[in-house]
Structure 1
């Protein structure tokens, strides 16, 4: 791999790098830009929102000898004429028009010191249009050409020296998946950053017609003799099957099923193993190290350690999901899956790329929230993130089985299946409501237009690196929130409000937490659920849905370790029937169904909320929590009020 200057005697290094210059990566979607970012920065990455938006900007540190460069991975775009928030951020940042934020800009300015424009060597015309627009901004430019192996297979491999001369910028050939050309790229970047003058004068094209004419001239110089008939590649032959109207759908469903299995059957043993280690040997060791410490022991073991264990239990799940998504991305199938699912999702303002996080949501809402980042458009990413909590994760299943078995013993399976169907309907209904209100700009959703990348064999190193950085971002961003909240819950449950108890040794109802539940219970009266034990369990379920059954058992002074007592036909099921018969005025079945609907629709677990806040910010997350609680309450009330008239 080599570097080609636009003319002999190109820019030479005339000054040492004394600051931490900022290098912006600009490119079309699927051109290899993010793979290049990962290859340059490794694990030295952070993710932040552009100020005032939900658009992600990834920044990382690129170490070059004694120097460190700040690399900014801008959202993928086909041009700098903004048609979406993502493209607007990319356009404003490259031109230096006020996207400055902490960790984003270099040398005190929002303008990057250098723009590396990633050109897809197999689709050069599309990439050259973006290069022309970046050159117009006056920002120094370096072109990095990827996909040269694909271009060669299609007989459209460009002459890089001719491309550099015609485009007026230095050109470097790279393969970020293998690392080939990265050293040449680093040398070229250092030369341009240390040079006296910019990398090429600003391009002066008065209008779009002149820009297209410039693109055609450069393309003709770089690829002077393209084949008269396009060469049918291996990817084209595979797509005849995977994009076939009849064959493509079964393949797509099989892939989505595999993603769902990753979040359920495959990940569950790993989650149980982590949870068992934290709650078992590690908790026992910590208790042994703190003998006789009373409430301090409870705070550290049941508060802090429980929070840390909750965070760690998500790590294997997230890692598996990220590996799955990485395989789909790196292989090139994710773009095909988006096309197959596009028509089904257009009605609610989304496109096919939203199918992956929504399917994952039925396995676990946390990785589904993170998976929204596979969507390049910030508005649709946000809309999908608001709909993910309406997908019913397996943590709710234990509650479904208990309540459905207790109140609908002859039709429990049908009721549970109906809840999952209802969850899908809520996603559609929520999408329609949001599209008609906060997302009116998405009412006219056009068919998805996306360049299909060539199929490639995923590289293990880049796959593991991507998985590591994504998991680490979750632990850093959501871990503190989850642990802190669980500590607060423990403190509230440990402080007595009546005499005869000590801190850390108090029945739930006689604690601050129990009194809070007493205050919440009347709000549930219109749904037939006015009981402190129900309110306490639902409040605990905000932390994690899988603890609702255990919280109910503790409220009724049952042993959560006694599986027989917690069975639908056991003591807990009987106590629930007695309680709801009293709170509902004799309409226990209607109240039981209202309880199920509330569990399905109300705010997801704390880990999901923490991740939602990290990805979309506090304002959107707070609003979503309030709206979803209100929505769940209205649904539960409606179900009970209608149900009691029919029973």
Structure 2
């Protein structure tokens, strides 16, 4: 019988022909080699999964003796990634697994006179993968699909749930590679009443090395490195092991030289040994004798879970937490954004002015090169910096929620609602975060374990109505729907949700028709207090990755926009226009592009230079749409106390006049269409850069194209319906 917490994912497909009696141990004739009767581990026979490893494929250490590959394996939520980051620190980097879009972390560590490469794989419960992320883990452990053979596998197990961890460990033993077992949460298991001890585990499986670790405090780090070193040294002087599970041996053959075993062969072996493996795990758990707390004992975690996992109170708590997340991003980040956008900009501008004045005199401040540095280069850099506060706050909150154990419970609560569009509960958090800022929302998709769900969620996030769009809604709502401005703004958020559901459903039926939501089974991590040092390191690494990945694209596009606005196409009203000195936007190349592109918006009712110019500028950042409109109308009320005042003031009057002319007298319908277009098309250039960083350039372009198409179609539909009402 399978132990609680372990699910044979192929049991329903397993026939009697898949199983055979276990072979006898060659030393004691017990049921299987590796049994506890004689202690033989079968380490001198190439059986099991070890027989399926690529026979002509060397590990890095086998190739040069100076470089070793260490792979971290473990179930989800066992503290594997926390331990990995404790070992590597700032040396870790995020990358795609070979030939996939699945994100893994990797990093090098110089140890004595050798270089060790560590790889942190996605959490998995079995080497027989059913998702792309689990496939990456399986292939990394087996040295398949472009991965080098691991010189050492570090199996991370959770002492609070040994049965689940031992099932994967039994498969890793099959591989016959040097193996070190890192035991996490041993202190928590003892507090819960468990009798699991390190010595007990060592006695249970004496052929393996067990090390107690705590990734949050880095406790046991040196012992783990020493155990890896010993495993590497032992691997050069002894034969590698093979499987203690032999039921499937007669079905398999060693791959011919140069040929890798197929995934079908791997799955066949695992399925054929499933019953034997469950018996092995059951025996080990029985031997631990009381490794779980008494069933009658109700812990504080159980009491908290009764509230957080309840179908009603759990949703209420989750929505409250998400509200706090949203408020934190939009409210706490605001002073820091203002600092970079106003104070820091003034400091830098004054500094640049001083340098120019010192080197070339005050007259140089009117030159085009000075304008390029201030409005182009500095403007782009400031744009990047304004995203650092919300990104940092988002990363901090996510890390706290994840480390505390709440994030897994939130995913469980929202699972049913998300299945409508082919996602599970874990995808709800990034979508909610998107209503604060799309950028950290995209970054937070890294918490999703399945790469296909991660991609679908990433494509939907740009349709969440971020806070930057709100300024546009307010100006237009008060300009056109003054008495019902609040309702108009609320309907924009309703429209955002409807668009997400509609686009998600369409993608599920087309591009993601292979995305089959699996039953959402996960082990809930224990509640624990996040460690400050780890939070700081995690936030710093993620922020640096964003800055280095997105800054070049944002600054480059800002410079391009500046050049378009700096190139005159007419002499202007006074006949004095020159490069870098254009009196009005319509007299620049940027204005010409905006005017030509305005024609395509005629069916949507805003065939207007000022509107199209604002949309082009809004592609860089939605925060500047209102300012762009005020600039193009040559109106100096953009500094009013609120967007509502701008909507009621001269800017609102100018926009109403333009839309009245372009829409043929249906200005309100045109305004509604414009607001929906702002909602649906690309949020900002930084989002495109982050999309490219997370999913690649092709996906980023798909997102931009999809947003433009959805925005354009909806704008036309809304205007055409509105003009009939």
- Partner deviation per Cα, 1:600-628 (whole Å, 9 max, x = no partner): 11111111111111111111111111011
Does the CA-based 8 Å contact 1:27-1:78 persist in structure 2? yes
- Identify unmatched segments of 5+ residues in structure 2: 1-38, 44-60, 249-272, 358-363
TM-score in terms of structure 2 length: 0.83
1:151 to 189, 194, 198: 189
Provide closer, same or farther for how the CA distance between residues 254 and 197 of structure 1 changes in structure 2, counting only shifts above 3 A: farther
Q: Which aligned pairs between 1:13-412 and structure 2 lie closer than 5 A?
A: 19-65=66-112, 67-100=114-147, 110-164=148-202, 166-167=204-205, 168-195=207-234, 196-197=236-237, 201-205=241-245, 206=248, 207-223=273-289, 229=295, 231-291=297-357, 292=364, 294-412=367-485
Question: Does 1:641 pair with 2:720?
Answer: yes
Does the C-alpha gap of structure 1 residues 112 and 287 become closer, same or farther in structure 2, counting only changes over 3 Å?
farther
| Conserved 8 A contact 1:163-1:221 | no
- Counterpart CA distance in 2 for 1:519 and 1:439 is 37
Residue 498 of structure 1: aligned partner: 570
My pick for the range that moved more, 213-222 or 373-382, is: 213-222
Deviations 1:169-204 (A, max 9, x none): 211111111221111001111122233146961224
Spell out the pairing of 1:477-496 with structure 2 (5 A cutoff): 477-496=549-568
Q: Is the 8 Å Cα contact of residues 342 and 447 (structure 1) preserved in structure 2?
A: no
Say whether the 8 Å CA contact 2:177–2:240 is kept in structure 1. Answer: no
Contact 2:186 2:197 in 1 (8 A): no
Q: Distance in 2 between matches of 1:226 and 1:563?
A: 64
2:669: which partner in 1? 590
Cα distance in 1, alignment partners of residues 553 and 349 from structure 2: 21
Match in the other structure for 1:535: 612
> How far off its partner does 1:154 sit?
3.0
Gap change, CA 1:210 and 1:530, over 3 Å in 2: same
State the Cα distance separating 1:224 from its structure 2 match.
Answer: 6.7
Is the 2:554–2:685 contact (alpha carbons within 8 Å) kept by the matching residues of 1?
yes
Q: Secondary structure at the match of 1:290?
A: helix
The 3 A distance-change label for structure 1 pair 263 and 225 is closer
Matched residues, number? 627
Contact 2:673 2:719 in 1 (8 A): yes
SS at match of 2:101: coil
Shift of 1:448: 2.1
Tell me, in whole angstroms, the C-alpha distance in 2 between the residues paired with 1:316 and 1:414. 30
* Alpha-carbon separation, structure 1, partners of 2:541 and 2:612: 38
- Trace 1:516-535 onto structure 2 (pairs within 5 A): 516-535=593-612
SS in 2 for 1:119: strand
CA distance in 1, matches of 2:392, 2:67: 32
Bigger mean CA offset, 196-205 vs 466-475: 196-205
CA shift in 2, pair 1:290/1:248, >3 Å: same
Following the alignment from structure 1 to structure 2, what is the Cα–Cα distance between the partners of residues 295 and 538?
A: 25
Q: Which digits, 9 at most, give the CA deviation of each residue in 1:475-514, with x for residues without a partner?
A: 1111211111111111221122234422211132222222
The 3 A distance-change label for structure 1 pair 198 and 173 is farther
In 1, the alpha carbon distance for the partners of 2:647 and 2:290 equals 74
User: Counterpart in 2 of 1:3?
Assistant: none
2:193–2:292 CA contact under 8 A, matched in 1: yes
Cross-structure match for 2:496: 423
**C-alpha spacing 1:47/1:226, structure 2 compared with 1 (3 Å):** closer
Distance, in Å, in 2 between the alignment partners of 1:7 and 1:262 is: 58
Highest Rg: 1 or 2?
A: 2
Superposed CA RMSD:
2.4
Structure 1 gaps, min length 5:
1-5, 101-109
CA distance in 1 between partners of 2:461 and 2:432 (Å): 9
Deviation per residue, 1:320-378 (Å, 9 max, x gap): 11111111111101111111111111111111111211111111000011011111111
CA contact (8 A) 1:34 1:73 kept: yes
Match of 2:707 among 615, 624, 628: 628
| CA offset digits 1:42-76 (Å, max 9, x no partner) | 12221112244321011123344555422111111
Deviations 1:284-343 (A, max 9, x none): 211221240612111212111111111111112111111111111111011111111111
Separation in 2, partners of 1:303, 1:412: 35
On the 8 A contact 2:93/2:107 being kept in 1, the answer is yes
